[in-house]
């Protein structure tokens, strides 16, 4: 594993980063005391990169993803997505940015049960006030291999098919950044491979950026880089690691 000491802005990227975390800290305060979930994370995610975030339980992975996607606010530090600083935005502007620029693929698929697959996929465009064309919806359904399931409802699909609908729904707005949290956690290995290949294709074909939290070294090996978190800090990274190398790096962190 390589230490990630030199971070932005030490390296001047040729393109502006798709996503920049600058000195992010997050402290949760409650009556029981306070927890420092993130203790100063600085990192830039290059455009078109596929990064997996791994680390022991409680190391801050979900907190990082939530802060990066503007679903939660860091205690200090800034998040800049595609040139826009999230902390400067009100809720309306943030919602608009999320709908236009971000795609979410979480383990709970969050599909609307009463809508057909077609309407679930078309929904994000409708929410942004754009009229989805049939061609667009069918194109993304085709991309995820569900062209013949457009009229079904989520309950009539398997878990893997539902996750593919969730990916189609995330693809349709052509977001610049995908946030994925354990996107394959509940899926069999064949379906997981399809989902991870789709995410990888999004980076390779369309220059989209993927940030994926996972516990699974096989899933993480689809990413170009694995970023390791430990105790709220970036502990290092591994580029193009095999599942075995990634698992070994993880166990050295857990020791």
Q: Which residues bind ligand ATP (CB under 6 A)?
A: 28, 30, 35, 37, 55, 57-63
Tokens at residue 136, please? Answer: 């667009």
Rg (CA), the chain: 18
CB of 171 to ligand ATP, least distance (A): 25
Q: Tell me whether residue 141 or residue 223 sits nearer to ligand ATP (CB atom).
A: 223
CB of 181 to ligand ATP, least distance (A): 8
Q: Tell me whether residue 34 or residue 128 sits nearer to ligand ATP (CB atom).
A: 34
CB of 239 to ligand ATP, least distance (A): 21
Q: Tell me whether residue 194 or residue 230 sits nearer to ligand ATP (CB atom).
A: 230
Q: Tell me whether residue 105 or residue 202 sits nearer to ligand ATP (CB atom).
A: 105
Contact (CB, 8 A) for 27 and 36: yes
CB of 56 to ligand ATP, least distance (A): 7
In angstroms, the Cα distances linking 12 to 16, 109, 237 are 9, 37, 19
Nearest to 81 by CA among 99, 97, 64, 63: 97
**Residues across the chain:** 255
For helices 134-143 and 117-127, the axis angle rounded to 10 degrees is 120
């Amino acid at each position: 594993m390589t230490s990630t000491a030199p971070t932005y802005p030490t390296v001047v990227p040729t393109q502006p980063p798709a996503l920049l975390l600058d000195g992010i800290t997050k402290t949760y305060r409650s009556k029981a005391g306070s927890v420092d979930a993130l203790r100063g994370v600085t990192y830039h995610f290059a455009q078109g990169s596929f990064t997996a975030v791994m680390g022991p339980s409680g190391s801050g992975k979900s907190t990082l993803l939530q802060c990066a996607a503007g679903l939660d606010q860091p205690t200090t530090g800034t998040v800049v997505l595609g040139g826009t600083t999230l902390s400067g935005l009100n809720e309306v502007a943030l919602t608009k940015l999320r709908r236009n620029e971000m795609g979410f693929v979480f383990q709970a698929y969050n599909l609307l049960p009463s809508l057909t697959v077609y309407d679930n996929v078309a929904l994000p465009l409708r929410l942004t006030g754009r009229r989805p064309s049939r061609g667009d919806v069918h194109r993304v359904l085709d991309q995820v291999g569900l062209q013949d399931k457009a009229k079904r409802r989520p309950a009539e699909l398997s878990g893997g098919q539902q996750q593919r609908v969730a990916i189609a729904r995330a693809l349709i707005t052509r977001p610049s950044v995908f946030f994925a949290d354990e996107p394959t956690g509940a899926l069999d290995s064949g379906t997981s491979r399809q989902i991870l290949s789709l995410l990888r294709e999004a980076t390779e074909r369309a220059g989209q950026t993927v940030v994926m939290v996972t516990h699974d070294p096989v899933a993480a090996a689809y990413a170009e880089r694995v970023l390791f978190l430990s105790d709220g800090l970036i502990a290092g990274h591994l580029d193009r690691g095999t599942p075995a190398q990634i698992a070994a790096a993880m166990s050295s962190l857990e020791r």
